[in-house]
Structure 1
C-alpha cells in the first residue's frame, strides 16, 4: 500500500498549520500524562494555559480571517465552528477533569485532522492567492517555539 503523500500547504496557511502541530503536541502531552498517572488537575492546568495563550487566538483567527474566505455557511466551516465551540467548553469543564482531559485530547486531534486534511484543502482551492495573502498579513505573530515549552511542570517528560 502506498504511503499517503504529504499535503502541500499554501505558504499563507502555514502559520495556522504550524499552530495545528502545537495543538497535536498538546494532545500527545495530555495522553502521555494520563498514561503516567499524572493528576487531571496538573494536566488541565497546562491545557488551560495552552488554550489561553495559544489556541484561543488561533480559533479567533480562523473564525474571523480564514473561514469567511469561503463563507460561514460552508459545511466544512460550520463543522469546524462546532468543533471550536465544543472545545471551548471542554477546556473549562470543572465537573469531571479527567474526562475533560481525555475528550480534549481526542476531539482536538480529530478537529485538527479535519481542518488539515479536508477544510484547508477546500480553502486553498476556493480562495484566491490575494485573499490568502491578505488573511496571512492579518495574523498575529506566532510565539517562539521555545516559549511553548517553558511550563514549570512538564508532567509529560
Structure 2
C-alpha cells in the first residue's frame, strides 16, 4: 500500500481517508452528546442536531461504505460485512426512535453516542484494515477515486 497516512498511531490507505475523516467527525459528535448527557443538558434541542447529523453526515457516509467498502468485505470477510450492515441498521433505528420518542437521556438519545462511537471503533480497527488487506492496489485506487468523487459533491 503506497498511500498510507498516519492517524493516532493507525495507518490508513489514502483510498479510505475520507471515510476515516468522517469517522473523526462522528466521534466528535458522539463526544458532544456524551458531554451533554453527563452535564444534564436539556435533551430537547439535541433531537434536531441528531436528525441533522444523520441527514447530512451519516446517510451519505453509510451509502459510501456500503457502495465501496462493503463489496470488498463481502468477498473476503463476510462476518465483518454483516456486522457493518447490521450496525448501520441499528444506528438508523436509534435515530428514528430519537425522532419518534420523548427526548430523555434514558431513551434512544442517550444510546446514539455510544452506538456511534462503538461502530466507528469497529470500522477503524477491524473492517477498514480487512478491506485494505483484501483489495489489491488497483482496487483500492478505484475505491479511492469513487469515494473522493462522492465527497467532492457534498
Number of the residue aligned with 1:57: 60
Structure ranking higher in strand proportion: 2
Q: Does 89-98 or 79-88 show the bigger shift?
A: 89-98
Moved more, 73-82 or 30-39: 30-39
Q: Structure 1 residues 131, 120: CA separation in 2 closer, same or farther (over 3 Å shift)?
A: same
Paired residues, what number? Answer: 140
Corresponding residue number in structure 1 for 2:103: 97
Equivalent position of 2:151 in the other structure: 141
Q: What's the C-alpha RMSD, in Å, of the aligned pairs?
A: 1.9
C-alpha deviations, 1:95-153, integer Å up to 9, x for none?
Answer: 25332121111111111000001111111111112112111212212699xxxxxxxxx
Deviating above 4 A after TM superposition, structure 1's stretches of 4 or more consecutive aligned residues are: none
Greater relative contact order (CA < 8 Å, ≥ 6 in sequence) = 1
In structure 1, runs of 5+ residues without a counterpart are 145-157
Q: TM-score normalized by structure 1?
A: 0.82
Structure number having the greater helix percentage? 2
TM-score, normalisation: structure 2 = 0.83
Structure 2, unpaired ranges of 5+: 1-7
**Residue number in structure 2 paired with 1:31:** 34
